[in-house]
Amino acid sequence: TNTKKIASWSKSKIRCYEFLNMTSRSFAAVIQELNDELRDAVCLFYLVLRGLDTIEDDMTIPIEKKVSILRSWEEIIVTDGWNFTENGPNEKDRQLLVEYPVVIEELKNLNKTYKEIIFDIAKQMGNGMADYATNAAHNKFGVNTVKDYDQYCFYVAGLVGLGLSSLFSASGLESPEVGRNTKLSISMGLFLQKANIIRDYLEDLDDNRRFWPKEIWSQYVNDLSDLKDPEHKKQAINCLSRMCLDALQRAPDCLTYLSNIRDQKIFNFCAIPQVMAIATLAILFQNYQVYQKNVKIRKGETLKLIQKATNILNVIDIFRHYTRVIITKNNSRDPNFLKISIACGQIEQSC
């Protein structure tokens, strides 16, 4: 039972799971359902990346300091007793970094293969985040091209997909193929990250974080922040369509990836965030409120999705449903109307 397990757990391991529950709304439950060995590896992988992201997200840390921490993350996570107490008081996960030695301690208990996967991804992500934090400090437009946008999303989410797939294969619960098909793993991360970046337009802009690529928004307005001005409403909706189109192009890969997963618990862990992402894209699409507040799917809808996303047929059903929602909202006067119809058609074809 759960209490029996916990009785033999070290203080630091218990604290790690408390932090998982404190810092993640969407992943905590599904991670804890995974089989024992994999569960600890994924929990610690999560906390390693959550710590890194807490440094990346804090706009009160001076840029030189931030970059130096991001670039040395791989060494930091093997440095006994390392912690960080200088996050701004508004940083929601600052306590994790205050007590970071518990994560560093528990990482030591993982087997070598899992550790190597986690360290390798942490190193790449920290350096990628540092590149973009530096760019953000010098380029007031933020991310420039669509290619840069893909690259940023690769660093912060594609790499998570690669790392998780390697962990799944290393556990023996999934075939080596899951780890080998890197394009599909990267798309799993990009689909989540892109839905997140579109949804967080306003929140990120308020923090002066600009992830929407200039190559896209410059076709509609002179500055990213102009999108929220009511005088540019029509352009704003069209730009939003373009961003949604870009994200939707990853959906077929996600369905293919999920169709290759065999373990029930790994399936739930992978599928739940993906169905939330397609549902999110469906409510964001053609929705001007994106520029006025943080649009979120309703609690009840989230609950239904979590309960349903337990096998590939149901997941296909969910993707079909939200694709229909998008097709219904698609507007023939939108410059991307045709491309969006095609992207939706491709999702339905891969269903």
Return residues touching ligand PS7 (CB under 6 A): 27, 42, 45-46, 49-50, 53, 57, 156-157, 160-161, 164-165, 185, 188-189, 192-193, 196, 200, 270, 273
Residue with tokens 């905590």: 28
Q: Would you give the binding string for Mn ion spanning residues 143-182, x where CB under 5 A is met?
A: ----------------------------------------
* Least distance CB 109 / ligand PS7 (angstroms): 17
237's contact among ligand PS7, Mn ion, none, with CB below 5 to 8 A by partner kind, is none
Tokens encoding 211: 């992830």
Based on the residue annotation, tell me whether 168 is a catalytic residue of this protein.
no
CA 277 to chain CA mean position, Å: 10
Nearer to ligand PS7, 113 or 341 (CB): 113
Cβ-Cβ contacts under 8 Å for 334 (sequence gap 6 or more): 237, 238, 241, 340
Which residue in the list 15, 199, 210, 242 is annotated as catalytic?
A: 199
Is 131 a residue that touches Mn ion (CB under 5 A)?
no
Among 220, 227, 305, residue whose Cα is nearest residue 268: 305
Listed ranges 159-167, 174-182, 184-192, 194-202: which one lies at the site for Mn ion (CB under 5 A)? 194-202
Cβ-Cβ contacts under 8 Å for 268 (sequence gap 6 or more): 30, 33, 309, 310
Is 200 a residue that touches Mn ion (CB under 5 A)?
yes
Of these, 196, 235, 311, 341, which contacts Mn ion (CB under 5 A)? 196
**CA 329, 331, 334, 336 torsion-angle sign:** positive
C-alpha count within 13 angstroms, C-beta hemisphere, residue 114: 21
Of these, 56, 74, 263, 334, which contacts Mn ion (CB under 5 A)? 56
Which residue in the list 46, 100, 152, 322 is annotated as catalytic?
A: 152
Over the Cα atoms of the chain, what is R_g? 20
Question: Is-contact 205 182, C-beta < 8 A?
Answer: no
Which residue in the list 15, 39, 50, 209 is annotated as catalytic?
A: 209
191's contact among Mn ion, ligand PS7, none, with CB below 5 to 8 A by partner kind, is none
Question: Is-contact 305 271, C-beta < 8 A?
Answer: no
50's contact among Mn ion, ligand PS7, none, with CB below 5 to 8 A by partner kind, is ligand PS7
Q: Would you give the binding string for Mn ion spanning residues 229-248, x where CB under 5 A is met?
A: --------------------
Q: How far is Cα 38 from Cα 31, in angstroms, rounded to an integer? A: 9
* Least distance CB 4 / ligand PS7 (angstroms): 26
Tokens encoding 268: 């739930």
Tell me how far CA of residue 270 lies from CA of 134, 138, 165, 254, 312, in angstroms: 32, 36, 10, 10, 11
Is 93 a residue that touches Mn ion (CB under 5 A)?
no
* Least distance CB 27 / ligand PS7 (angstroms): 5
Which residue in the list 100, 154, 269, 322 is annotated as catalytic?
A: 269
Q: How far is Cα 314 from Cα 287, in angstroms, rounded to an integer? A: 26
Q: How far is Cα 198 from Cα 317, in angstroms, rounded to an integer? A: 24
Where helices occur in 285-311 by DSSP H, the ranges are 299-308
Q: Which residue is closest to Mn ion by CB?
A: 200
Nearer to ligand PS7, 238 or 272 (CB): 272
Is 53 a residue that touches Mn ion (CB under 5 A)?
yes
Based on the residue annotation, tell me whether 209 is a catalytic residue of this protein.
yes
Question: Is-contact 23 93, C-beta < 8 A?
Answer: yes
27's contact among Mn ion, ligand PS7, none, with CB below 5 to 8 A by partner kind, is ligand PS7
Question: Is-contact 278 196, C-beta < 8 A?
Answer: no
Based on the residue annotation, tell me whether 149 is a catalytic residue of this protein.
no
Based on the residue annotation, tell me whether 71 is a catalytic residue of this protein.
no
Residues catalogued as catalytic: 152, 199, 209, 269
